[in-house]
Structure 1
Amino acid sequence: MPNKDPITVVGILATIMLGAGGAMLYLNPTPQPPPVQTPVGFTSPFKAPPPTRVTPEPAKEAAPVSPTVSALSAPALTPDELAKLTPSERSHYDAIRQSLQKVLQQVQTLEQENTHLQQTLKQGDETNQVLDAEINKLRPTPAP
């Protein structure tokens, strides 16, 4: 059996690999559904988790709810639960509550800024439409 030139073997393998890669570029992959995201609720790290339900509830049609500061509130421990905490747990709880309050204030500030920016955009769009109408009036009409 005659010896094959290594350059020829590498060239053939490269051609095969490039051809396969090119074919893969033109094949449409099956679309994947987006991953389902579960909402995260605020819970106290010191409370026991709520019991899980075994029976499924019937599906209800709910109106879309935008997260607002009134919907988001810091969880509060009862006085009995606070009394059970050690001093280090109490300071940790207070620090977490303060941090959460700051975040909730930031959310409220961002929502207000977002509302203001949406109003500004709406006014800008209206102004732009008025200016476009004026420009169209000033343009000469094409002669037949």
Structure 2
Amino acid sequence: MASYAGFYVTRKAWTDWLRSNLTYNYTEHSLNHTNAQMEIEDALRRKRMSKLFMVEVVPVPPSEQVEYGNIAKTIMITRVIRKRHGYIAQRPDSLVDKMGQEILRNQIGLEVEEWRTMWYNKDSYKPPYEAEFLEPRDEG
């Protein structure tokens, strides 16, 4: 169980990104979170940014599940992972934390949301795995 801080990628954003970045004839089955993770990691490697960002597959929190059900997975481009439950703020001395959204858009063309912290229970076997976005006041 850990808290992940970075840039949440909606299903629509990574699906659109995959459609415009896959170099082979894809099928709708190719547009899944596993391929998105691999292709985004590859794009980050090609731009020599793989040490700046980690690509994680995470469950979609209930607050975001309007259009794709309670078993959905999505992508989070993470900067910090901590083992405890709690909000992780952007580091004031980190340009990548502050400018990550713009960097990802300009360098690999991926639209991501602003800085967020997510927590979910990896030991849970029932979707949505207790997933939630944490706010600065959430101290676990």
TM-score range, shorter chain: under 0.3
Which has a greater percent of helix?
1
Which structure has greater strand proportion?
2
**Rg larger in structure:** 1
TM-score for both structures, normalised by structure 2: 0.19
For CA contacts below 8 A with separation 6 or more, give which structure has more relative contact order.
2
